[in-house]
Amino acid sequence: MGNRISSGRKLWDGKDEQAILHKLEEAFSYDCTDEEACFYADISTSTLYNYQKKNPAFLERKQALKSRVILLARKTVVNNLTKDPNFALRYLERKRSKEFSLRYVSEVKQQSEFDELSDEQLEKIIGVRYSSKKQEVTRSL
């Protein structure tokens, strides 16, 4: 019982495992989706997912490779801050918007058609007694 022969299709369908893994890692280092990476490596997504189930370390590696692009972009942004003051200001506007944002906060006062009516006119419309001095509303009988 020690030597079990597995039937069915092989995981890589006869392709070179190292070449496929290299292509997958290259694609993931460009932040490709699983579908894009599988297309590039010429494998199905189900093959990728089966491999990840059997090799959880690869899944961690994939996630790390995908983060590489963000790290590279951050590095590029920070390295270029000293070269262009406008770029530096745009960076600050996004990272510290409360302090550097050019956004204006304006209040809009909405005026209702009822704002100009007297208490008596309002009472007639809503059918209740309204007192502007006490700010009470009581039902009229």
Please provide the DSSP assignment of 35-80 as one string. HHHHHHHT--HHHHHHHHHH-HHHHHHHHHHHHHHHHHHHHHHHHT
pLDDT in tens, 84-133: 888 888 888 888 888 887 766 566 666 677 777 777 877 777 776 555 54
pLDDT of residue 53: 94
Q: What is the mean pLDDT of residues 14-20?
A: 87
Q: Which band of pLDDT confidence, cut at 50, 70 and 90, is reported for residue 140?
A: very low
Selected residue with higher pLDDT from 103 and 50: 50
User: pTM (2 decimals)?
Assistant: 0.55
Element (H, E) at 138: strand 136-139
Q: What is the mean pLDDT of residues 62-75?
A: 91
